[in-house]
Structure 1
Amino acid sequence: MIEVDYEYRTDEGWATQTIKLDVDLDMSLSDETLNDDMCALPRTIAYYSEISAECQAMTARRKNYMEVAEAAASQRIRAAAKESGDKITEPGIKEQVVSDDAVREARDLYYEADRQHRMLDGFYRALREKASISIAICYKQKEEMRTMNSPLE
């Protein structure tokens, strides 16, 4: 069971929701439950695809937020240097931007969103592979049934 955070739009702005995904159950494959699994698989794939897309959008928003935080920190540093009369180089500005608390927080949020999106995209791809494997198992079972029902020679 994993927890996934994603954002959705409300009248007041973006709200975060946490959902729980039972990845072990969704990825499991059994001969006994193959028919039920095959029937549920398209819905499960679509659900993971939807959550992955939401996480991808959240990652893009978080990246934008990080870039805005970096630009704001850079402007603050430049303004402070201009006001004090200090000369500052671009590498010096970049060094201070990286250590800015708001930039670090924005970067951490972006990295977490990106990690979550990549993980969900991997689950989505694995579910598509599960579909292929399920079809192969169904074919194998059909062949076994045909062999068992054929007259002995």
Structure 2
Amino acid sequence: MGNNENMHGMNNGCGHMHGMESRRGFGLKYWILTIASESKVTGSEITEKIAKITDGRWVPSPGIIYPMLKNLYDLKYLEMEERDGKKYYYITDSGREFLNNSWFPWKKQVEFSLKGNENSVVLDKIENNIQYLADNRDRLTSDEKLRLEKIKNNIEKILF
């Protein structure tokens, strides 16, 4: 890693590093930009939305949210307006362009969760997993095939 900014992940939305594989806050800038593309939001509202989207599995701290907001503002991906003693952030055209041309693993989950369409997120995951299993069907054990049969039966109960 060439510079200190990359080591601490501010350039890639990672927060700070915990070993080589584990990154706390991975993708944070994408989460923030997606949330700020829906409406003007404060840092605490962003934290609340991320906590809701992740079902409380991740609640980013102010120490990770606010430096990233400043970074995105400095990059001109976000604009900010002050109102009633609070800072409200919203996405710029260049931020929207960056977001639209980027990929991150939870992009659909964040977008659908913000629009209240969690069923579509779950169905996307099921489709992806079914494709994986189909591609690797010759490696399925008999126990795994039994589990798939139970899953199939549960899906039929939902549909009929």
Which of the five TM-score ranges fits, normalised by the shorter chain?
under 0.3
TM-score by length of 1: 0.23
- Mark the structure with the bigger radius of gyration: 1
Q: TM-score, normalised by structure 2?
A: 0.22
Answer 1 or 2: higher relative contact order, Cα 8 Å, separation at least 6.
1
Report the structure, 1 or 2, having the larger helix content.
1
